[in-house]
Amino acid sequence: MFRVLFILILLSMASLAQARTLLVLGDSISAAYGMPPERGWVQLLASRLSQHQPDIEVVNASISGDTTQGGIARLPLLLQQHQPRWLLLELGGNDGLRGTPPGIIRKNLLRLVTLAQQSGAEVLLLGMRIPPNYGPVYAKKFADNYRWVAQQTATTLIPFFMQAVALRPELMQADGIHPNAEAQPLLLETLWPQLQPLLPGPAES
């Protein structure tokens, strides 16, 4: 009897953990590259959630320079450790900058979303774009990957996460690739309308 009760308690604890954990898996865009971590959009999101839904814990597993392949290597353990209810997936930009074939990027993104969904997590896919000097054909195939994966997996998609800041030099760092600290609230506002419907209401929190 004690053994059964113990198992039930463990299952209950696992359910509670999943009910309140939001995992962010990204690269430098989500790792607050070039600024104090507390000014990055992920921390701004955590601060907003702490005011309205304090039971949701935000775990930022983003690493500057990460790729979709790196994400595949890291995600299974992250899912096991944190049992997230939500995954914000922001990867692929570095793959594009390295000229990775679009088909490989698509396959990796699909694998990442599938792994998360199989674990019970709901995914919000944050799409990226690459600079025009990579050529219009490659750039289109790269961007289309996110749309295709979202359609195949019934995943909520933000087609271009940096749309509000990418063409505004005053909101970009000197490298022209990374948003600066002033851009971070705009990234959050781009994300929020798509994320909010996925979160539980007050009665469900």
> Among 32, 124, 108, 115, which residue's Cα sits nearest to residue 78?
115
Catalytic residue at 50?
no
- Catalytic-labelled residue, pool 28, 30, 62, 119: 28
From 12, 52, 178, 205, the catalytic residue? 178
175 in active site: yes
- The strand ranges marked E within the chain are 21-26, 57-60, 86-90, 122-126, 156-158
82 is catalytic: no
Contact 149, 68 (CB under 8 A): no
Which residue from 96, 131, 125, 93 is spatially nearest to 111, judged by alpha carbons?
125
Burial (CB < 10 A; 0-12, 13-18, 19+), residue 93, is buried
Paired tokens of 169: 């030099």
Return the structure tokens found at 95.
Answer: 């793959």
Catalytic residues: 28, 175, 178
